[in-house]
């Protein structure tokens, strides 16, 4: 079989995989899990609405929906040439919340493949994890994850599929100083805590493992930085209310070491959209870029 014929066969398999229905996974959690997540993205004991189950305003944070990603089992590896899990990078994350997640929940997580794109020497794999009530079939939230898989390209250019506009927006910050800034120093032990949200990658806890990736110290989870940044936007433009966030999109631009300070720089693009980026102060590098949050109601925050 010629190379071009192999590539054509691969593209056909990708299309069939995109159209297929894949097995769902059950996701159950309780107030303890909700509290653990809040603490693992830096919530303080005084923020009782997120860390105390008996508080009259006890609620889940909007970014809690990302935990469902770990339940989405989608075995697309055989669709890619030369797949090596060590070459996979979490490039972007998009979350859209249609209905606030309860503090005790039982859902099914339905995985699907949105697209696989050939980028020459690498492939982009875009997957979705839908959080669905098993009794009513109501969709509470979706996650879209863009993975960059190095050394797995070259199988034939593919035209990108149509996607949710907010999931693909470039979100370039305006040419002015940020309208608002929030800084937060992370705990040196934050990665050890965040991993209990079902992300047990040893890269975030084991120095022997992280050193193989070029990191002398285990790095912080990208989704932890994502949660911290979302929390900052909620505090600044959503009056601290978790139901103020409709969607969040972010690109992971650089690693963060636990103990470093994150500075979320925010611009109010319009009453319902906040563009932001998150900077590591100690190294003056962007950890999160091309990011934005859509609000459920227009913000009344003063510029």
Which amino acids are annotated catalytic? Answer: 199, 204, 219, 222
Q: Report the half-sphere exposure of 237 (CA within 13 A, side-chain side).
A: 31
Task: Kindly give the interhelix angle for 31-40 and 222-237, rounded to the nearest 10 degrees.
Answer: 90
Whole-number Cα distances in Å, 231 to 52, 116, 302: 17, 31, 18
* Closest to 195 in 3D by CA, of 214, 223, 228: 223
Both tokens of residue 129?
């994890």
């Amino acid at each position: 079989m010629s190379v071009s014929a192999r590539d054509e066969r691969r593209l056909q398999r990708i299309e069939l995989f995109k159209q297929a229905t894949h097995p769902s996974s059950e996701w159950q959690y309780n107030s303890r899990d909700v509290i653990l997540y809040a603490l693992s993205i830096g919530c303080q004991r005084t923020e009782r609405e997120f860390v105390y189950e008996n508080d009259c305003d006890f609620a889940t944070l909007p970014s809690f929906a990302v935990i469902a990603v770990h339940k989405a089992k989608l075995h697309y590896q055989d669709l890619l040439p030369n797949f090596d899990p060590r070459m996979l990078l979490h490039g972007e994350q998009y979350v859209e919340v249609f209905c606030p997640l309860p503090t005790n929940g039982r859902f099914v997580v339905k995985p699907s493949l949105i697209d696989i794109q050939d980028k020459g020497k690498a492939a982009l794999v875009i997957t979705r994890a839908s959080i669905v009530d098993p009794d009513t079939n109501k969709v509470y939230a979706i996650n879209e994850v863009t993975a960059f898989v190095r050394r797995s390209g070259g199988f034939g250019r593919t035209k990108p599929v149509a996607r949710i506009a907010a999931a693909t927006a470039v979100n370039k910050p305006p040419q002015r100083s940020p309208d608002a800034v929030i800084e937060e120093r992370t705990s040196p032990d934050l990665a050890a805590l965040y991993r209990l949200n079902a992300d047990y990658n040893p890269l975030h806890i084991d120095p022997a493992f992280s050193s193989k990736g070029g990191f002398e110290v285990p790095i912080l989870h990208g989704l932890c930085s994502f949660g911290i940044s979302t929390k900052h936007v909620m505090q600044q433009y959503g009056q601290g209310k978790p139901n103020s966030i409709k969607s969040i999109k972010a690109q992971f631009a650089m690693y963060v070491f636990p103990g470093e300070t994150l500075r979320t720089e925010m611009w109010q693009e319009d009453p319902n959209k906040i563009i932001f980026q998150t900077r590591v102060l100690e190294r003056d590098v962007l950890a999160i870029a091309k990011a934005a949050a859509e609000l459920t109601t227009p913000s009344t925050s003063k510029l």
